[in-house]
Structure 1
């Protein structure tokens, strides 16, 4: 059975727009940090960092950056998975 795609238009309030913007900014920062971690690790030690390595570091990352607890683990793991596909 084929999968159908449905697109919904959002009409967020000003407060919701700010929250969505902050979430997007945090995902962007996580993506760039994960990419830099992979790049720097390879430059220093010629060792590749896998998705599972970075996924296992997420709890410690969320302890340091408390605002990331609002996003949820699945969303953060999806961002790390995109890094894994790209690099």
Structure 2
């Protein structure tokens, strides 16, 4: 099965660029919060979290 890759060049205007940048910052913040959560749970309680444990905590963070 062949996989075809298509690349699009984005040329956003200022409003779209601001929205893309805002989304990127939110994604970065969420990722860093998850990493911090894993580290603190491991250090304080000796419990290793996996993806599913953190996924179940996401509704609380929203």
TM range (shorter): over 0.9
CA distance in 2 between counterparts of 1:21 and 1:30 reads 14
Query: TM-score with structure 2 length normalisation?
Result: 0.92
Which sections of structure 2, spanning at least 5 residues, go unmatched? none
Note the alpha carbon deviations across 1:35-68, whole angstroms, 9 max, x for none. 0100111011110111111111111211xxxxxx
- 3-state SS of paired residue (1:3): coil
> Does 1:44 pair with 2:49?
no
For these two proteins, the number of residue pairs brought into alignment is: 62
- Determine which structure has the larger helix proportion and give its number: 1
Answering whether residue 57 of structure 2 is matched by residue 35 of structure 1, we say no
Considering only CA atoms, is the larger Rg found in Structure 1 or Structure 2? Answer: 2
RMSD: 0.8
The 4+ residue runs of structure 1 with deviation greater than 3 A are none
User: Structure 1: 5+ residue runs without aligned partners?
Assistant: 63-87
1:83 is aligned to none
